[in-house]
Structure 1
Amino acid sequence: MSLATAPFSPSSATIAVVTYNRSGLLTRLLESIERMDPKPGHIVIVDNASVDDTADVVESFRERVGTRLVYRRLETNTGGSGGFSEGMRVAYELGSEWIWLMDDDVEVLPDGLARMGKWAPRFRSIQGRRYDYDGSEFYWQYRVAEKMGIPIPFAPAGFDESGYKEMNSGCFEGMFIHRDIVAKIGLPDPRFFIYWDDQLYGWLASRHTTSVIVNEFVLRRTREIKQWDMGIRHMNASSDAYRYYIMRNRAHIKQYYRALGVYRRIPFAAGTALTFVKELIRLLAVERTVRGTSHLFRGLRDGGRIARDRAWKPMPPLSASQPVA
């Protein structure tokens, strides 16, 4: 359990949002933040070089959102990984004690920050719950099989009277993390571009503190995603880009495991094989096609180059005394 015992102050928190060419979804998120009570001290919007009216939308909320809004437009699209790395950096340099990460395709429930804040005196890496697009309770895979580096899809969904469960993963769609942990593990790794970055970051956090998912609904997804209903779980549709990075980025996880002395070749290879099979099933069952397998193989090939890179190093820790921007 964390050593944090001070009462939570909403003004000490920053919501960091990454967006890319989805100004309509961003509008819904900012409208929900406008309705929040209490509000965070800052909102950081990282724009991944959008070519739509995102900048105008952000400016239209600057005076009405009810808290300080910081806008960072990147020169190139760095993916979710690069966007969250930059959002975390800006929030950290603003002196934020708590950083709440989220995509642009969610909205915050009005008392969401208060619900997260009530756990802040006890824990320093917290994940809240969210409703899916249709209002159903979204199940998130909060535990990973560490040696294999993959999520456990059937970890128990229910909560006991404690109201929380320990986790060893993370999701940037709602991660609520204290700056002390960010200082120790560094910024999210932008080299992932997309996929596995948040799982790894949450795993890194769990090595330094008791990380938990709490029985608090704080977000609602606002974008519908094609799914295969498996009864007790769902499998979402994907894309060629996701298929590529799902396989390529296994190599980045392997390098982190090596650097931290937890890499075991056979279990990790089994995790990679299971990931490959899962993506084949996703193609057949959700998207009803076999086209796209070439991107899985291409990801494996490029991942091999990353895994052989002897100059590769993990993201460095930050200085806890880093000056406020």
Structure 2
Amino acid sequence: MSEGREKIAAVVVTFNRKLLLKECLDSLFAQSRPLDAVYVIDNRSTDGTYEHLVDRGLIRPEADSRGTIRTVRSVPIPGRHDVQIDVHYVRLPMNSGGAGGFHEGVTQAMAGGFDWLWLMDDDVLVAPDALAVLLEKKNALEAAGDKPFLLNSLVLARGQDDENRLAFPLQELDGRGDPKVGVYHWRLTEIQHLVKDGLYRWVCPFNGTFVPARVVREIGPPNPDFFIWGDEKDFLWRAARRCDLYTAVESRVYHPPARDAGFDWRQYYNIRNMLVLNRNFRYARLRNAKLIFRSLARGLRHGPWGLKLVLRAVRDGLAGRLGRRDDLGP
């Protein structure tokens, strides 16, 4: 590492998707500006993720691989044997959800003294110049002023013929700097007129999110109590109070397109967490009233269990009770 070069670590959270994780790691290893480290946070996968990483030589085998694992190994970047990368692997004692995984990964990377953290799920593919573009925009913003900022790669839909299709919609800001209610853009062409100097003023968090350590020190790591769904929005809103948020549209990552998750136990977390998060917005009571009405109507279509799930989510959400629940099954 050259003198004065900023240290950058990617944080990848995974659970039972070892083949997607392999593709994600391969794309990170292929960056034109090499990363200094990758943190793989494994939410207690049961599909052979640990064994796969051992077989690839990315981590060392443990004498006792049954419990929690924390290990680091410096390995040559595949295809670039003159460049080393530190691979940190943490297998958690239980599935803590994306929220717990990102909390652990960000906490560990901050303890490692890294200057910037690049956060993503295991189903993200990263273009080879994605990090280099982020650094180019980072340098330009730093030269223009001292206000802290957070960057994000543009999250395009993976496996689609339409190269302008976004994996998740980007919201548009109003004159106060808040996202406009009900305004979502699903294609790059819809936001191009709002892009200035290659930057768009809003982000899709935890899919190529490039966070400076100085911001994490101010706002803290992701909140593990969200378990799934909502931890990224909570982190985003905490960051928005401290810094500007930009998507660097020429820094590209690819994620499977958003789809309807259906109605199962996970909807408890979706409803509960959104009720908590809506407190950050204007018209919070109106937003929550709409959310409760829609959720009750949807829950009723799934019989007594669906209604009970929604009512519990509403009760806990309005009371601000977070955390993992282990008794949500039908």
TM norm structure 1: 0.74
Matched, 1:141 2:170: yes
**Cα deviation 1:53-89 (Å, max 9, x = unaligned):** 1112223152354411000000000001111111111
Matched, 1:126 2:161: no
1:224, CA displacement in angstroms? 6.3
**Cα deviation 1:248-306 (Å, max 9, x = unaligned):** 1134326xx4xxxx676xx213212444566689x79xxxx943895475244244235
Whether the 8 Å CA contact 1:250–1:303 is kept in 2: the answer is no
Matched, 1:71 2:96: no
Matched, 1:272 2:288: yes
- Residue in structure 2 matched with residue 249 of structure 1 by the alignment: 273
CA distance in 2, matches of 1:275, 1:31: 40
Whether the 8 Å CA contact 2:268–2:313 is kept in 1: the answer is no
Q: For residue 198 of structure 2, what is the amino acid of its counterpart?
A: G
After superposition, residues 1-325 of structure 1 pair within 5 angstroms as: 9=5, 12-59=7-54, 60-62=56-58, 63-65=75-77, 66-121=84-139, 122=141, 124-135=149-160, 136=162, 137-138=165-166, 139-142=168-171, 152-154=182-184, 157-158=191-192, 159-167=194-202, 170-221=204-255, 223=256, 227=259, 236-253=260-277, 257=279, 267-276=283-292, 290-291=301-302, 294-295=305-306, 298-305=309-316, 307-308=318-319
CA distance in 2, matches of 1:300, 1:278: 12
Deviates more, 1:58-67 or 1:116-125: 58-67
Deviates more, 1:138-147 or 1:44-53: 138-147
Q: For residue 220 of structure 2, what is the amino acid of its counterpart?
A: G
Secondary structure, counterpart of 2:20 in structure 1: helix
Secondary structure, counterpart of 2:207 in structure 1: coil
Give 5+ residue unaligned stretches, structure 2.
59-74, 78-83, 142-147, 323-330
CA distance in 1, matches of 2:191, 2:179: 20
Whether the 8 Å CA contact 2:18–2:48 is kept in 1: the answer is yes
1:31, CA displacement in angstroms? 1.5
CA distance in 2, matches of 1:290, 1:48: 32
Percent of paired sites with the same residue:
25
1:147, CA displacement in angstroms? 12
Q: For residue 159 of structure 2, what is the amino acid of its counterpart?
A: D
CA distance in 1, matches of 2:127, 2:179: 32
CA distance in 2, matches of 1:46, 1:157: 33
Q: For residue 154 of structure 1, what is the amino acid of its counterpart?
A: Y
Runs of 4+ deviating beyond 6 Å: 144-151, 277-281
- Residue in structure 2 matched with residue 5 of structure 1 by the alignment: none
Query: Larger Rg: 1 or 2?
Result: 2
Secondary structure, counterpart of 1:72 in structure 2: strand
Structure 1 residues 300, 128: closer, same or farther in 2, change over 3 A?
Answer: farther
Deviates more, 1:60-69 or 1:244-253: 60-69
Whether the 8 Å CA contact 1:141–1:152 is kept in 2: the answer is no
Structure 1 residues 178, 79: closer, same or farther in 2, change over 3 A?
Answer: same
Could you say which structure has the higher strand fraction?
2
CA distance in 2, matches of 1:24, 1:50: 12
Whether the 8 Å CA contact 1:112–1:219 is kept in 2: the answer is yes
**Cα deviation 1:140-165 (Å, max 9, x = unaligned):** 33457999999744355224342212
Secondary structure, counterpart of 2:206 in structure 1: coil
Q: For residue 312 of structure 2, what is the amino acid of its counterpart?
A: R
CA distance in 1, matches of 2:181, 2:89: 33
